[in-house]
Amino acid sequence: MKHSTLGILGACLFAFGGCGPDAEKGECGVNDPCERGAVCDLDTAICMQVGAPTDATEEPAPETFSGKTVPFFRGEICVATEAQAGQAFPVRITPCVHPCVIPTSYHYKHSWSCVGSSCEGFVAMWMETRSGPEGCPEDAFARFDADLCTTPVTAELTITAQYDDGKPVVGTMALEVPFVSNADAEEIAADGGDLETVMAMIQRYPRESNRTVPDGIVLASDSPPPPATCSESADACDCFQIGF
């Protein structure tokens, strides 16, 4: 297996602010974007929902394939939910993969931004895959029975929330594993995992509560130093189901 990672970036690399889908006339524009999953009608200055479905990354799935890029759709994220400010805290993400899908490599990117003590971050993961010898059913990239989930790959990474001047971030970070489709993941892979491309794909879909770590990660000066990895011990991190 191989993976790629994005180094820790400075604050305010991405933003999800703006007007909502029910915004009144005059509340969005070129310099006042809408929330994720919506676009601004510049004639009326009203945010319009794109309406992209998020219940499958591709449907129906092809029966056979090779070299297919598939994103994290459902699975588990484990993270140290309390960490000493300025210290790297560990994250482990494990996608749920249909038994007919065989990953051959995986990649991920992560980034974060803060406004005061309120922070938002994401970890996006995608895999290069092929179909197994028996082929795949039509729901292989949709909400198939969770009992069929296999976990052939796991990504371990760390996030260090520090500003460019080295000052630690003190606050709470909402950490998300965002939805993107197979087609989006193909664009990301074709662009070498470029951060701007990743962010552009994420922006196509609304934020969903079942894809975000509940209550976020508390970064405080008096919190204990986080473990090096979430596999360090049984209680090193808290684990959450994503996308189910």
- The answer to the question of residue 167 being in a domain is yes
Is a pLDDT exceeding 70 seen at residue 26? no
Please tell me the predicted confidence (pLDDT) of residue 13. Answer: 37
Rounded mean pLDDT, 215-236 = 90
* Residue 199, domain member (yes or no): yes
Residue 3: pLDDT over 50: no
Section 17-31 average pLDDT: 57
Residue 125 lies in a domain: yes
Provide the domain count of the chain: 1
d(CA 103, CA 61): 15
Whether residue 197 is contained in a domain is answered as yes
**Is residue 44 included in any domain, yes or no?**
no
C-beta separation of 195 from 13 below 8 A = yes
The whole-angstrom separation of Cα 40 and Cα 35 is 9
The verdict on residue 12 lying in a domain is no
- Residue 75 scores a pLDDT above 90: yes
* 13 inside domain: no
Q: What pLDDT, on a 0 to 100 scale, did the predictor assign at position 218?
A: 96
Note if the bond before 60 is cis, omega within 30 degrees: yes
pLDDT value for 24: 47
Asked whether residue 27 is assigned to any structural domain, the reply reads no
Task: Tell me the C-alpha distance between 180 and 191, whole Å.
Answer: 15
Lowest mean pLDDT among 4-18, 47-61, 74-88, 166-180: 4-18
Rounded-to-integer distance, Cα 28 and Cα 23, Å: 8
Domain that holds residue 147: 66-242
Model pLDDT, residue 19? 40
* Contact between residue 163 and residue 10 where contact means Cβ atoms under 8 Å apart: yes
Q: For the whole model, what pTM was predicted?
A: 0.82
